[in-house]
Amino acid sequence: MGVRLLLVYGLAFVSFSLYSKADDHRSLTETATSDVFNEYLEYLTLPNVATQSAADIRKVAEWTVAKYSEYGVNTQLLDNEGMPMVYADYMLAGEDAPTVLFYAHMDGQPVNPEVWEQESPWQPVLKVEENGTWVEKPLSLLKNQYNPNWRIFARSASDDKAPIMMLLAALHTLSLNQTSPSVNVKVLLDSNEEGGSPLLATVIEKNKNLLSADAVVMLDGPMHPSNAPTVVFGHRGATLVKLTTYGPISDSHSGHFGNYIQNPAFMLSSLLAGMKNENGMVTIPNYYGDSPLPEEIKNVLREIPIDEKALLARLGVVKAESVGSNYYESISLPSLNINGLSAASTTAVRTIIPSYATASIDIRTTKDAHSSRQVNLLKDFVRARGYHIVDEVPSKEVRLKHEKLIRMEVSQGTAALQTPLDESVGVWAKKALQSVSEGKVVVIPMMGGTVPTAPLVTRLNKPVILIPLVNADNNQHAPNENLRIGNFYSGTNALYQLLTTPYSP
């Protein structure tokens, strides 16, 4: 039975709120949130892996346009070479009111169904925690009861279909309550964010007038682990580098040539090992810059609550590296990470010296430690260890001229973002979210991950912040991705408060 048919006879959701002060507002958003939660479950049944099917993405985009239109929101598709993006607006605050552009993405990460603990990642499953284990329950259970800590498991349950539908629920709340927003709302939903948003800049440029706004709010990323309201002012950038070291011109017998010719796997391993010390600090000279973190930023980072013991326990490791004084300082600094390493094969074992070895590296950058700077430092480090850098597979002639050869292939990624902490859009967001929280709004100057804000910043020339709305332990990008049901309600409530709080750019 389809999700929509299963639930159409009504979800008698008991109202609740994640934040204690939000109880004062719950009657404003409860009905609309319940309505849209049904749609959210249907939304999760639509496959959305852009790298595998443009046709699937078109269906997702068309469904989104139809659904937003059904709730009275103006919508249209934006051409994007077969994978259209979605534009929507709700311009009822008046001509003189400021406009906020909300960005999210419709596409999701690829899935391997075999490693998911359910029949299909494209069929949402309700799970309840019992004795420390998530136990599947029938969705029909939601008809008469539920707990905000129950979860919905499916691909894109949190990243990023949930925020898209939370925003729709917030707009639906305005309509049901006959309330005018304090800001005009525009929405841009990306169709290939997980693929790096290769055409986002082009789509923005083609629709620059349509997308014009006073500020941009990106609805992506996990909330603080406490689930307290969270505002993020920046993120690290990302650049990918592939390193390939070369040995003999072809795989060679290890018995005949071991101890005689260099093994490129050992060469590469030695090179990589020299890039970090035993504490995890990158040893490439000046990699972190002369003054990587201003003292005022450090002070903000120290105020962010963090249970590092619990975090390490969740990750299954006993000790953190000593790059920063705490978790948040560490992810505010540039990093160097090996994410792939190969030479010959470990399954079809052959007694050979491989002809080459390859490592994939991701460099997380900051505004000052930007991509070209970090890549040049890496090249200098490699050259200082006697390597000759080539741009292609070396010919025999090149091999006979140089003792150490390495190929460096650089894929420039998204630039880092660092919006000033006193930017008016951030002040507005903190004020709105404070209205639904007894405690402090958690301010994060920079999150460790990377999102495609660069085209939004450079093309629209307006400030960008991020407001994450989903639970931190949502398994995004991994098997068994999930959303805490309570976050759907609290997220809608938070967005409603945002839309009804006056904003002065």
Q: What is the pLDDT of residue 27?
A: 66
State pLDDT tens for residues 425-450.
999 999 999 988 878 899 999 999 88
pLDDT (tens digit, 9 = 90+) per residue, 225-281? 999 999 999 999 999 999 999 999 999 999 999 999 999 999 999 999 999 999 999
Please write the tens of the pLDDT for every residue from 53-100: 999 999 999 999 999 999 999 999 999 999 999 999 999 999 999 999
> 26 falls in which pLDDT band (50, 70, 90)?
low
Residue 345 confidence class, pLDDT cut points 50, 70, 90: confident
List, in order, residues 6 or more apart from 44 with CB less than 8 Å away.
Answer: 3, 122, 123, 124, 152, 154, 155, 156, 157, 161
Quickly state the pLDDT bin for 165 (edges 50, 70, 90).
Answer: very high
pLDDT at 25: 54
Give the least confident one: 11-20, 385-394, 398-407.
Answer: 11-20
Top pLDDT among 408 and 24 is at 408
Answer for the pair 376, 384: CB distance below 8 angstroms, yes or no: no
The reported pTM is: 0.87
DSSP string, 72-111: T-EEEEE--TTS-EEEEEE--S-TTS-EEEEEEE------
Say what the pLDDT of residue 6 is.
39
Instruction: Report whether pLDDT(390) > 70.
Output: yes
Please check the confidence at residue 3 and state whether its pLDDT lies above 70: no
Residue 5 has pLDDT above 60, yes or no: no
Of residues 425, 499, 430, the one with CA closest to residue 29: 499
For each of the domains in the chain, give its residue range(s) and CATH number, in order of start: 3-235+416-499 (3.40.630.10), 238-292+334-411 (3.30.70.360)
Task: Give the list of residues 6+ apart from residue 504 with CB closer than 8 angstroms, or none.
Answer: 98, 424, 428
The helix/strand/coil state of 459 is: helix
- What mean pLDDT is predicted for residues 438-465? 92
Q: What is the pLDDT of residue 145?
A: 75
Q: If you average pLDDT over every residue of the chain, what do you get?
A: 92
pLDDT score recorded for residue 349: 82
Under the banding of pLDDT at 50, 70 and 90, the label for residue 143 is confident
Q: What is the pLDDT of residue 377?
A: 98
